[in-house]
Amino acid sequence: MWRDFYGKLDRVQQARGFKIAASIAIVLLAIGGFVAYWLANPAPAVDTAPIVQPAEVEAETPGLTPEEKAEYKSEVERYQRAVAQLMAGQTDKTSVAVGFAAAAGVVVGAIWLGLGLTLALFVLAAAAVVAPLAAFGSTRDWSRLLGGVALLGASFTVLMRLLSMTFSGSHPVLAIARNTLAEAVRLKLSLLFIVILLFALASVPGMLNAQTPLRYRVQSFLQYATGGSFWFIAVLIVLFSVSTVATEQRGKVIWQTMTKPVSSAQYILGKWLGIAGLAAVLLSVTGVGVFFFVEFLRAQPAHGEIGPFKTRDGDTLSEDRRFLETQILASRVVVENEPVDLATNDPAKFREAVAGYLKEIHDSNAAFDPTDPTNQNDVAKSLNDQLERSYRAVEPAPGWKTYTFKGLADARDKSILLTFRFKIDAGSNRPDVTLKITFAFDRIGLITWDCPLGQYQTITLPPNVIREDGTLSVGVINGAFYGNNLRLNAEPFSFPKSALAVSYSAGSYRLNFARVVFILWVKLAFLAMIGVFAGTFLSFPVASLVAFTVFIAAESTNFIQKALVVFDDMDNKGNVVMWKWVIVRIAESISGIFKLYGDLQPTARIVDGALLSWSQVAVGTTVLAGATGLIYILAVAIFRRRELAIYSGN
């Protein structure tokens, strides 16, 4: 009975007349909705009050000349104008109109995909469940969750239909791809994954603590929703890609496909295309969900605000808001300090240090051979690591260090404000302890900072602190000036790796988000090929193990790189420990192979508001596509030699 009903419904929604009539109705509704919004929301007066008072900065910059202060003030005003523009965008009617148009476009698209009535029924059913739940305080969270699931489910349905239509051509590759898509949504395992993903994503907003600063809520959401979704989809993709190929061979269904005019290359390409398409749909659904919820969060009051973008004391930008808009929902170029590399900077001195180190070890351990190249390399590496760690530490004596940041000419030329971001570690990072440290910048002079331990801090800097050659030098003093007296701290502190950086805005957050989602898809497509490759010649359990090993290895590359810095393959006497040596070599190989995969760090970038540039996207895509292509060729070569009537798993 249900089948008959849906059959009739489907015939109606597939009819051209229905599509035209429904499209016209939706367009009229969108126009009417926008007009109603226009009438209900008259344009507000633009608040031109200053956003940030530069007074506190001036108080910390006694070395500035009046001209420099004026220049800095103008830079701050430029920043204020940028923020004012940003705020004006919150009530911009054009963006609202674009929103209405986009929503109407999506609905009309769904209608022309033949899903108009299906979605209408879906929305009605969802509303029938959600509305009663929303009416009571105790079930309101459930209504939000189910509403979110319904929205994501509807998006998934529309996108799957769109992809299915894209693959509807009469060609073996497209037929196999479409069949793979159908398999993904009709088999219990993958469908369960998809449903859990939609529920998990919809439940993340409910886990955010409304009492925490808005910037942390946004960061947490981005972290859990984007990162979590990627991992969840990746697990599904790896499992499904292995399963669809391996079980098809085990179940012998492949016989009837491969006795048709289908080459091995077409079969594998079709399988991969279907899985990569599924990954694209799932990422699009989660990406769109994350994006719109972030926009929703953005429109919430930040700490210190009485309404979105409105502070009680008349300032239009609270600290929380400023951090959110400039640090997180941003697209910043991040420049870390130049690493110390004695081997390159001063080879003679480095060789001398290595020789001294080797002699020292040999003196304490006669069995140690200082002429062995392996020992020499290990010692050189170890020494360089020690130097690097020492370079990032500021001892009480002499009490200062200078760090250099290169490649900032663009920010200087375009007069873009800089954000100096740092974190210090000292002792056991007691939360109740702060250290007074002082930074020295060109043109500005000294800025003293009462610095908590283990927490990121930021200082906004004018672009004129950058030198002509695009470098920025920062002097860091382990103490503070009291009048003309420098008082040094008694204990050392250090900047953890990557915890000392300068950044500047280089594009929009929205575009950056799109690039991040694209790179995540490229990674998933790569993983899909790994899974298909493993499934061509291994049984499902073994192939899954192989594919997951590659996935975990690739994802943990950054961790491995960090761990290798502190993991030594020698004992206290300088002897190489064999098992440690083996681990180091394996770890180095893995981190070397997947270095670029790990360096892309799309989720970390979007959480930190760091730019993922087009060039990085291009390089990352090219390299991963190349790797995917190589694995594809290997998979075809193996599959061509397979005897499909013998299942290796038996």
402 - beta bridge partners? 475
Write out the binding residues for other proteins, residues 86-105 only, by CB under 8 A.
none
Q: Which is nearer to other proteins, 573 or 640 (CB)?
A: 640
439 - beta bridge partners? 447, 476
Q: How many CA atoms lie within 13 A of 648 on its CB side?
A: 15
Write out the binding residues for other proteins, residues 180-219 only, by CB under 8 A.
182-183, 186-187
Q: Tell how strand 485-488 and strand 305-307 pair up.
A: unpaired
Least distance between other proteins and beta carbon 545 (Å)? 19
DSSP 8-state code for residue 20 = H
Q: Which is nearer to other proteins, 359 or 640 (CB)?
A: 640
Least distance between other proteins and beta carbon 119 (Å)? 21
Place of tokens 């886990």: 207
Q: Pick from 443, 458, 457, 449: which is nearest to 480 by CA?
A: 449
CA atoms of 384 and 353, how far apart (whole Å): 10
Q: Which is nearer to other proteins, 430 or 640 (CB)?
A: 640
Q: Is 483 helix (H, G, I), strand (E, B) or coil?
A: coil
Least distance between other proteins and beta carbon 285 (Å)? 21
Least distance between other proteins and beta carbon 252 (Å)? 4
Contact status, residue 513 vs residue 607, Cβ threshold 8 Å: no
Build a one-symbol-per-residue string for 64-83: x at contacts with other proteins by CB under 8 A, - elsewhere.
--------------------
Helices and strands in the chain, H and E counts? 25, 14
Place of tokens 């975990």: 552
Cα 151–chain centre separation: 23
486 - beta bridge partners? 481
CA atoms of 487 and 489, how far apart (whole Å): 7
Least distance between other proteins and beta carbon 167 (Å)? 10
Q: How many CA atoms lie within 13 A of 637 on its CB side?
A: 6
Write out the binding residues for other proteins, residues 304-343 only, by CB under 8 A.
none
Q: Which is nearer to other proteins, 251 or 427 (CB)?
A: 251
Number of residues that bind other proteins (CB under 8 A): 32
Stretch of 133-141, 446-454, 460-468, 640-648 contacting other proteins, by CB under 8 A? 640-648
Place of tokens 């590496």: 381
Q: Which is nearer to other proteins, 349 or 641 (CB)?
A: 641
Stretch of 177-185, 279-287, 339-347, 514-522 contacting other proteins, by CB under 8 A? 177-185
- Which of 143, 179, 382, 621 is in the footprint of other proteins by CB under 8 A? 179
CA atoms of 650 and 644, how far apart (whole Å): 13
Least distance between other proteins and beta carbon 238 (Å)? 20
Does 365 participate in binding other proteins (rule CB under 8 A)? no
Does 227 participate in binding other proteins (rule CB under 8 A)? no
Long-range contacts, 190-198 (Cβ 8 Å, 24+): 190/236, 190/239, 190/240, 193/232, 193/235, 193/236, 193/239, 193/240, 194/156, 194/236, 194/282, 196/232, 197/229, 197/232, 197/233, 197/236, 197/282, 197/286, 198/149, 198/152, 198/153, 198/156, 198/285
CA atoms of 397 and 402, how far apart (whole Å): 14
Q: Which is nearer to other proteins, 169 or 592 (CB)?
A: 169
Contact status, residue 424 vs residue 436, Cβ threshold 8 Å: no
Q: Which is nearer to other proteins, 21 or 645 (CB)?
A: 645
CA atoms of 377 and 380, how far apart (whole Å): 5
Q: Which is nearer to other proteins, 157 or 558 (CB)?
A: 157
Least distance between other proteins and beta carbon 266 (Å)? 8
Q: Which is nearer to other proteins, 256 or 485 (CB)?
A: 256
Q: Which is nearer to other proteins, 262 or 583 (CB)?
A: 262
Q: Indicate the length of the chain as a whole number.
A: 650
Q: Which is nearer to other proteins, 138 or 170 (CB)?
A: 170
Least distance between other proteins and beta carbon 163 (Å)? 16
Cβ neighbours of residue 128 closer than 8 Å, sequence gap 6 or more: none
Least distance between other proteins and beta carbon 273 (Å)? 14
Build a one-symbol-per-residue string for 110-149: x at contacts with other proteins by CB under 8 A, - elsewhere.
----------------------------------------
Build a one-symbol-per-residue string for 228-267: x at contacts with other proteins by CB under 8 A, - elsewhere.
-----------------------xxx-xxxxxxxxx----
Build a one-symbol-per-residue string for 156-175: x at contacts with other proteins by CB under 8 A, - elsewhere.
-------------xxxx-xx
Q: Which is nearer to other proteins, 93 or 640 (CB)?
A: 640
CA atoms of 417 and 79, how far apart (whole Å): 7
Least distance between other proteins and beta carbon 407 (Å)? 53
Least distance between other proteins and beta carbon 181 (Å)? 11
Contact status, residue 435 vs residue 501, Cβ threshold 8 Å: no
Q: Which is nearer to other proteins, 8 or 171 (CB)?
A: 171
What DSSP assignment string belongs to 292-312? HHHHHHHTSPPTTEEETTEET
Does 3 participate in binding other proteins (rule CB under 8 A)? yes
Neighbours of 532 (CB within 10 A): 31
Least distance between other proteins and beta carbon 534 (Å)? 20
Least distance between other proteins and beta carbon 23 (Å)? 25
Q: Which is nearer to other proteins, 266 or 503 (CB)?
A: 266
Place of tokens 């050659």: 469
Q: Which residues bind other proteins (CB under 8 A)?
A: 3, 7, 169-172, 174-176, 178-179, 182-183, 186-187, 251-253, 255-263, 640, 643-646
